Chains A and B, each alone.
Chain A
Amino acid sequence: MAPIIPHAEIREKYFFTDILPTPWCPGCGNGSMGHALLQAIHRIGWDPKKIVLISGIGCNGYLTRYLRFDDLHALHGRTPAMATGLKMARPDLKVIAIQGDGDAAAIGGNHLIHAARRNIGITTIISNNYTYGRTGGQYGPTTPKGGISTTSPYGLEEPPFDLCNLMVAAGANFVARGTAYHVLQLIDLFERALTHPGFTFIEVITQCPTSYGRKNPGKGMSGPEMLLWQKKNAVPVEKAAGMTEESLRGKIVTGIFIDRNRPEYNTEYEKIRQRAQKGTGREERN
């Protein structure tokens, strides 16, 4: 396992320290997710000038505001579409999209699956805290069945999305899930996702003690308790393959769901440009 950079060093190098602290609640998982991302970026050694973060709307979106990268704060759910346009126009840039579960899987679900289908060369990171934390804790498309929220006071009857399997089916090149508790694993997953060509996707299970943990399950959990819950319930994807649906209920399947090399869209489109500029493109195709 590669070395971990001291926290202070990450902070000094990547944060606008003058505007800290972030508005996140005590116990929030977004900080761990952001830190793991920065560790991975540092390890890869990319030029920060060439990194663009595109965030959506939601608590996680605050992250990009504090970092010394170019920051496009997109509309709710539109992050993958904005990232697609930018990456097609500027293939030289490292485009990282950061979204929440509601942003990515509800209001922007269509953009997400099509970005994966095109296999556009961006990395999408989802902070999945099972709830709309920013608006005070409504249920979302990843809230577990039975979840209590301000809009499911009697318990949720909708089944949740499995975002990783959705992304595998849609065509992403690299898909993985980690948790805010398993930070070392998360850094490795980020490093692999960021350096893998094509559309890469990481879902991070982050705890939201304020809006979700307070009510789930039963009497609720604090931030540390939610982290311990992540620790206890994480099941490696290899092990999960041999388990029944019943025994996987309430578990978090972590690890790499797919690692493949379908052609990246920008590279493929460049071939179209070359054919078009020769003036023979369309005929050749026939």
Chain B
Amino acid sequence: MPKRSLLLQGNEAVSEGAIAAGVRLFSGYPITPATEIAEYMAQRMPEVGGTFLQMEDEIAGITAALGASCGGVKAMTASSGPGLDLKAESIGYAVCAEIPCLIVNVQRTGPSVGSVTPSQQDVMQAKWGPHSDNLVITLSPASIKECFWLAIRGVNLSEKYRVPVILLSDSFLAHMTERIELPDPEEIPIVTRPRPTVPPGKYRTYDADINGVPPLANVGDGYSIRLVGNMHNKAGDYSRNPRDFDFLIHRLHNKILTNLQDVQTYEEVDIDGADYVIVAYGIVSRAAKAAIRLAKEQGMKVGLFRPITIWPFPHARVMEIGKRIKGFLVAEMNLGQIIGEVERATRREVPVVGLNRVDGLQINPYDILAKLKEMM
């Protein structure tokens, strides 16, 4: 039987990916350019026996998803930058209470209301949106196919590590149409949160070692679970003990940072023997690939490093690459956000140049090529 081949927009592919990963509750609030996800889910969720909720605001959009997740139902929300501002509070809560949830940010341009054209201006927001020390996993798709597969991966990582995962799309990808071959259900990896291995009387909601992910019982299973955003001990009681604070904040980071091999993915093109390497992610990496072809035709040795996992950023790999090349060109649709991470990784031992664009239009291959020539 031939596989189901479809023409999908990015927003639709994200939705189908989430459904394939087992998401059965979507809650959100209308916002351009993410609205199609809500519209698509309004139709699809009841079809698959799930729930679509259009909430009263962005805050409720994510909070209702977290409520569902506590009940053991995989849940997601989607929005754009202005909505992510409002969701920041609940993202921090999900980090602290360790409630799995997928959050899609279809990035748009400019501060405040801005405009609905594409950008990559929310990369740092994904990392530093909520107050305090937080670590969420952030993924950056570059194609419609990847919108689908990274939605699945996002849900799976979220479950595995009990952490909210942000999928950073943009309004270019969201509304771009490409062909995608949908896999058979058995080809889709499904990960479910770690489950309690002790009887209900012995269960503690946050029982894990300093690098661990505590098992999560569902509400209603008789485990007396306590999910809290306060500083807490292993039982989920609020704590005023500095040792508990220290342990918890470290553990929330360690559980991801000690599993970087699992969490971090990236794509490399023509890195070996390259004189210069372009660092680009999301939609910009498509232009970078075209630029590499153009550069090759002109005899230049140029490679591409594309982080697919944006946070935690693959510093170690960038550092390794940096030791062998003459310079990095970081192309991004913002005034320079990931470039700081590249400089950090290379400790400024190699030249790092930025190519930035914030007019809501795509960085094109010729811009990249011209910048490469400037560097040489």
B-contacting residues of A (Cβ < 8 Å)? 19, 49-50, 52, 54, 65, 68-75, 78, 81-90, 92-93, 110-111, 113-114, 269, 272-273, 275-277, 279, 281-282
Contacts and interface: CB of A to CB of B under 8 A. Distances in A.
Nearest to B60: A81
12 contacts: A71-B225, A71-B227, A72-B70, A73-B97, A75-B90, A82-B64, A85-B27, A86-B219, A90-B220, A93-B219, A269-B51, A276-B43
B235 to A, nearest CB: 9
Contacts, number: 134
B229 A75 contact: yes
Nearest to B64: A85
B226 A73 contact: yes
B68 A86 contact: yes
A84 to B, nearest CB: 5
**Secondary structure of the B side of the interface?**
mixed
Given A276-B43, A277-B47, A81 B230 contact: no
A52 B27 CA distance: 21
Contacts of A52: 219-220
B220 A73 contact: no
B89 A85 contact: no
B19 to A, nearest CB: 13
Contacts of A71: 224-228, 236
Contacts of A282: 43
B47 A84 contact: no
Point out which of A49, A113, A277 has the most chain B C-beta atoms below 10 A from its C-beta: A49
A62 B69 CA distance: 23
B51 A89 contact: yes
Interface of B: 24-25, 27, 43, 46-47, 49, 51, 53, 55-57, 59-60, 63-73, 75, 89-90, 93, 97, 219-230, 236-238
Contacts of B237: 19, 65
Pick the 6 closest A-B CB pairs, nearest first: A85-B64, A85-B67, A276-B46, A89-B68, A81-B60, A86-B67
B354 to A, nearest CB: 37
Question: Most B CB atoms within 10 A — which of A89, A92, A269?
Answer: A89
A196 to B, nearest CB: 21
A114 B46 contact: no
Given A78-B60, A90-B72, A83 B67 contact: yes
Contacts of A78: 59-60, 63, 90
